[in-house]
Amino acid sequence: KTVLVLHGPNLNLLGLREPNHYGSDTLESINAQLKQQADAASIGIETFQSNDEAVLIEKIHTLAHTPVDFIIINPAAFTHTSVALRDALSAVKVPFIEVHLSNIYARESFRHHSYFSDLAVGVISGLGARGYALALDYAINNITRA
């Protein structure tokens, strides 16, 4: 069983970037914690970040021939803009949880709409880095039971 964690644009800057919204953990430390959590449950995990919409879409396309059991995705700014990334996720039909570090509903109105939420198994927004751990906990429980 394998989980893919996808991080969208600017999330490579976590730790430096607006810590009031996104906390002080780096992406590297978030990924390392997720890896530990996955190892403890004996499941595989891959983490992937890109600032490029096409690269994220192509990464999702690889799942057509090399499937994973679950995706955890923070589409970052593409949440609010990308029909193309949404369509890629619907094409491969892998269940996913949408995660946001910040509470997007407590911020500017352009962040209130997501192109992903209605396709997601669930959405976690506003719990900081803990949101990824909670999403992974859900994924582990569901895929190991299946």
Q: Enumerate the known binding-site residues.
A: 74, 80, 87, 101-102, 111
* 38 vs 128 by CB, closer to ligand DQA: 128
User: Cβ distance 79 to 105 under 8 Å?
Assistant: no
**Known catalytic residue: 105?**
no
* 19 vs 67 by CB, closer to ligand DQA: 19
Q: Which residues fall in the annotated binding site for substrate? A: 74, 80, 87, 101-102, 111
Least distance CB 23 / ligand DQA (angstroms): 10
Helix (H) or strand (E) holding 73: strand 70-74
Least distance CB 133 / ligand DQA (angstroms): 14
**Known catalytic residue: 138?**
no
CA angle 85, 10, 88 (to 5 degrees): 10
* 70 vs 79 by CB, closer to ligand DQA: 79
Residues 16-22: contacts with CB within 8 Å, 24+ apart? 21/101, 21/102, 21/107, 22/101, 22/102, 22/128
The footprint of ligand DQA (CB under 6 A) covers 10, 74, 76-77, 79, 100-102, 104, 111
Q: Active site residue: 100, 112, 113, 115, which one?
A: 100
Q: Active site residue: 7, 21, 22, 138, which one?
A: 22
Q: State how far Cα 45 lies from the chain centre.
A: 12
Least distance CB 145 / ligand DQA (angstroms): 28
Exposure class string for 52-76: b at 16+ Cβ within 10 A, else e: ebeebbebbeebeeeebbbbbbbbb
Q: Which residues are catalytic?
A: 22, 100
